[in-house]
Structure 1
Amino acid sequence: MLAPFLIMLREGVEAALIVGIIASYLKQVGRSDMMPAVWLGILTAVALALFVGTGLQMVSAEFPQKEQELFEALVGVVAVAVLTSMVFWMRKAARSIKGELHASVDRALSGSAFALIAMVFLAVAREGLESVFFLLAIFQQSNDALAPLGALLGVAAAVVIGYGIYAGGVRLDLRRFFRWTGVFILFVAAGLLANAVKAFHEAGLWNGLQETAFDISHILPADGPLGSLLSGMLGYRDAPTVGEVIVYVVFLAATLIPFLAPASPATSRAAARPARQKV
């Protein structure tokens, strides 16, 4: 439940931040009359995400066992790709996103209302489709019955925080928020990737490195209270194979080190420059 909650909280805050910047700028330039176009873009993007998620879930239910395992593995790989790209994109774009959005709104306002609808739609749809693939991967690889509730609570909390930021009543250190939720997401992604390796094996496509790396089921069983929590959050397994451990560790080493590395002064100045010019 905690993993879907935190992921949807982050995705929701990211989307709310984008929408809030757009709404604030429209108010600032005296174009609040364009807010219906913003809401139409949001609703259309949410509808697309729901349609894609429902469609993928219905299609996968018709697959035979091996095809279901393959589908689960592919969804896991896609989820890892979009989650990883998401955290690195926000790390890079956080300093300049406000200026870039202001410039995009200016371009949209110089055209028709459809241009603004399309801009908002693309921004929110990106977050929505990322969430769809993450939730599909989590629901397929986890037995946590409370996972859907956690996702809904995360979205609800994000809406409240997003409105608070827009209204000025909530002060959130977004840089720190995105940094530490990004670290958590990378651990979640590592677990999804390790589970994808297991699913590829069960689909008959990967049979290497299947020896048990270690077995601590007598110390921390995966079906126990703490084991279930760690399994739902981080993909914990009490008796993983060598291949799963290698994938988990290599992925974390390849992503956490560059993600946590401080940005170079030149990169920081380049990222901050567009924001100063546009705000």
Structure 2
Amino acid sequence: MKKVTILISLIVLMMLSPLQFASAEENYSDLYISVGDAIMKVKADDWDSAEKLVAQLSSDWEKADVPENETSKKVGDSISTLDDLVKEREKEPVLDALSDVSHSLVALEKEQNPVDQEEQRGQVKAALTPVLDEMGQSIEAKDADRAYESYQSFLSAWTKNEKIVRSQSIPFYGKIETQMGFLRIALTQDEKDFSKIEGIYGELNSAVEDFAAGKNLKSDNQNYSLDTLVSLLEKANQSIDDGNPEGAVPHLEKFLSVWPSVEGDVRTKNGSLYTELENNIPVLAGKLSSENADVDAIQSDLTNYQKSIVLLQDKTNYSVWDAALIMLREGLEALLVVTALLAFLRKANAASQQKWIWAGVIAGVGMSVVAAFILSTVFSTATAGANREIFEGITGIAAVLMMVGVGMWLHQKSTMKAWNQYIQKQMGTALSTGSVLSLALVSFLSIFREGAETIIFYMGIAPSISTGKMLAGILIAVGILAVCAFVLIRYSTKIPVRPFFKIATFLIYFVAFKILGVSIHALQLTDKIQSTQLNSLPIVDWAGFYPTLETMIPQIVLLLVFAVTAVKIEKGDRKQENRAA
């Protein structure tokens, strides 16, 4: 069920990204991204997300077009080992296995795309050393303006060559990036501390020289994550609140030290935020050290970045009860139809024909399972790689649209008179055919239609809930439905339907509100929808509320639709009651 995708969503996605499914030159970028993201999730003890990423890695590897040789066999073996270990959820073995996968991928890529690493290091040195020499002369002369111009030149040269450094040595890449951030802070302060600037420059220069010489640098193995960045920004804001703006600077410097270890997690989810953080955090830190700093504006920026990073972290994980509600609301509608059919046959003294209704129910369930299997088999690859966020957004919005219809239907049937009219209509249609097979067809179509809707709804939340929670929710719902079925079938003529339908309608509206927010947020993470944040409002994960205009406006519209519908239905009911009176 979890891997099922919906054909209409696939068509919409292909309209948004028509070239996404075209054949392209084979590369391993998706594999590296999955490995990097998995490392971050394991360090954060987010095992559900880590298992999904490892499964994605395994799937992408199986589809990769690679030569069959000893090197590619090592990649496959390392991924297979990782797939087994991640299920045991022991951090160190899994991190080691991820490292093995990364190293084996690097070896395969080098084999297929041989490069001269020494020559590349020479290229980096040739590009950066002249600019560093000029920067050193400016700093020695205490010429701040010229030193900053040299820094900008270095930044330009670094941008063109940083991929080489990152591919050969993550530790050197991190050290150079960190020292660049420190240098930018020092050069943007009003009062320049040239002794400090010289020290930072020395560290930067030696890092470049050591990399060019092919030296090794020990990696920082601390378990940094996006939570670390959020925590550092919180501490910086707290220092500002305490009236000590300069006390926030060390926290921002620590941010820059941590940044190279987690920047990949930001870059793969929000490229524009990645650029802003990398460029602006050093500037903000430099301004905080200045006497005439606009502290309020700086704190506003820091708060904005803090919320942006929080939004990047795992999207709302639906609970077991969210999964149960989907099965409940869909099962209840189908159950009401079946109950109506059975109740009518009992009243018509034709209980012996109930077997045809149950035959229709079984056929409907069977066809729903077949449809799920076909969709899962044919379209399972549609949720691969970067598209998983887009699919969650699209299918979630599709689910919300269907929920609106379901909610309105329930609301309309919330009076005893409307419910009795509905029963009579369904029974009349069945009996008018003069055949018991029509009864089976009514029950079959009711079950199959609800089964198809259930597939769409579960696909809408599947990327944000573990398989275990989803199955638990389904089993709970099945148990509740079994009890409801017994009660409805046995006491269908005695149950007060109004409270029952009111509660069911409220639950549907609530889940629709939540899924709409989560779905739009998922599209924001892929830059398909812009994100205009409102810093004065909190994030409410359990309700799917994210403080951005793009999520709030559709949710407000949805609430208005619900409100207008409720008012119209209530007015209609009162008119009918007055006419009857």
TM-score normalised by the chain length of structure 2: 0.40
User: Structure 1 pair 168/5, CA: closer, same or farther in 2 (3 Å)?
Assistant: same
Question: Residues 81 and 257 (structure 1 numbering): CA distance in 2 closer, same or farther, change over 3 Å?
Answer: same
Q: Distance in 1 between matches of 2:352 and 2:373?
A: 34
Which of 363, 386, 394 in structure 2 is aligned with 1:66?
386
Instruction: Assess if the C-alpha contact under 8 Å between 2:323 and 2:469 holds in 1.
Output: no
Residue 37 of structure 1 aligns with an amino acid whose one-letter code is W
Superimposed CA distance per residue, residues 20-51 of structure 1 (whole angstroms, 9 cap, x where no aligned partner): 11112122223333222211211111122223
1:110-189 matches, within 5 Å, as 110-111=434-435, 113-143=436-466, 145-168=468-491, 172-189=495-512
**1:203-228: per-residue Cα shift (whole Å, max 9, x none)?**
4533x3x13223777xx7x7xxxx5x
Q: Write the distance in 1 (CA, Å) between the matches of 2:353 and 2:365.
A: 19
Instruction: Give the aligned partner of residue 213 of structure 1.
Output: 534
Q: Which residue of 2 aligns with 1:101?
A: 426
Say whether the 8 Å CA contact 1:53–1:136 is kept in structure 2: no
Aligned residues: 254
SS in structure 2 opposite 1:10? helix
Q: 124-133 or 35-44, which moves further after superposition? A: 124-133
What 5-or-longer segments of structure 2 have no aligned partner? 1-319
What is the aligned partner in structure 2 of residue 92 from structure 1? 412
Q: Does 1:14 align with 2:333?
A: yes
* Aligned amino acid, residue 454 of structure 2: S
- Structure 2 match to 1:264: 571
The alpha-carbon deviation at position 196 of structure 1 amounts to 2.1
The AA in structure 1 aligned to 2:512 is: A
Measured in 2, the distance between the counterparts of 1:215 and 1:142 equals 29
Instruction: Provide the residue aligned with 1:277 in structure 2.
Output: none
How big is the shift at 1:84?
A: 0.9
Mapped partners of 1:118, 1:73: distance in 2: 34
Whether the 8 Å CA contact 1:60–1:71 is kept in 2: the answer is no
143-152 vs 130-139, greater mean Cα deviation: 143-152
Give the whole-Å Cα distance in 2 for the aligned partners of 1:13 and 1:189: 17
Distance 1:121 1:164, change over 3 A: same
Distance 1:121 1:79 in 2: 22
Q: Distance in 1 between matches of 2:569 and 2:440?
A: 36
Worse-matched range after superposition: 52-61 or 181-190: 52-61
- Residues in 1 aligned to 2:573 and 2:500: alpha-carbon distance in whole angstroms: 23
Matched-pair identity in %: 20
Contact 2:341 2:439 survives alignment (8 Å): no
Q: Distance in 2 between matches of 1:49 and 1:82?
A: 17
2:45 equivalent in structure 1:
none
Q: Tell me, what secondary structure is at the counterpart of 1:48?
A: helix
CA distance change for structure 1 residues 142 and 250 in 2, over 3 Å: closer, same or farther? farther
1:122 match: secondary structure: helix
Relative to structure 1, is the Cα distance of residues 269 and 67 closer, same or farther in structure 2, using a 3 angstrom cutoff? same
Q: Does residue 2 of structure 1 match 2:309?
A: no
Q: Distance in 2 between matches of 1:47 and 1:65?
A: 31
Alpha-carbon spacing, 1:78–1:51, altered in 2? closer, same or farther (3 Å)? farther
CA distance in 1, matches of 2:345, 2:575: 28
2:424 is aligned with what amino acid? G
Q: Deviations over 1:96-127 (max 9, x none)?
A: 2111122122124x03x432222211122222
Give the letter aligned to residue 504 of structure 2.
T
Distance in 2 of aligned mates of 1:82 and 1:257: 17
Structure 1: which 4+ aligned runs deviate by more than 6 Å?
A: none
Task: Please give the secondary structure, in 1, of the residue aligned with 2:386.
Answer: helix
Hey, what does 1:78 align to over in structure 2?
Answer: 398
Matched AA of 1:34 = Q
AA aligned opposite 1:106:
L
Structure-2 separation of matches of 1:41 and 1:267: 37
Aligned pairs for 1:17-32 (under 5 A) are 17-32=336-351
- Contact 1:91-1:178 within 8 A present in 2 as well: yes
C-alpha distance in structure 1 between counterparts of 2:575 and 2:485, whole Å: 26
Note the C-alpha offset of 1:267: 7.1
8 Å contact from structure 1 (residues 186, 256) kept in 2: no
* Alignment CA distance shift 1:262-1:20 (3 Å): closer
Instruction: Note the 1:178-257 alignment, pairs <5 A.
Output: 178-206=501-529, 208=530, 210-214=531-535, 227=541, 230=542, 234-237=543-546, 240-257=547-564
Structure 1 residues 194, 236: CA separation in 2 closer, same or farther (over 3 Å shift)? closer
In 2, distance between residues paired with 1:51 and 1:268?
45
User: Mean alpha-carbon deviation: is it higher for 154-163 or for 92-101?
Assistant: 92-101
Higher relative contact order (CA 8 A, sep 6+): 1
1:154 Cα deviation from its structure 2 partner: 1.3
Shift of 1:145: 4.3
Pair 1:185–1:33, CA change in 2 (3 A): same
Structure 1 length as normaliser, TM-score? 0.77
Distance in structure 2 (CA, Å) of the matches to 1:195 and 1:253: 19
Segment of structure 1 superposing worse, 8-17 or 94-103: 8-17
Tell me by how many angstroms 1:241 deviates: 2.8
How much has 1:174 moved relative to structure 2?
2.3
For residue 170 of structure 1, report the CA deviation from its aligned partner.
9.5
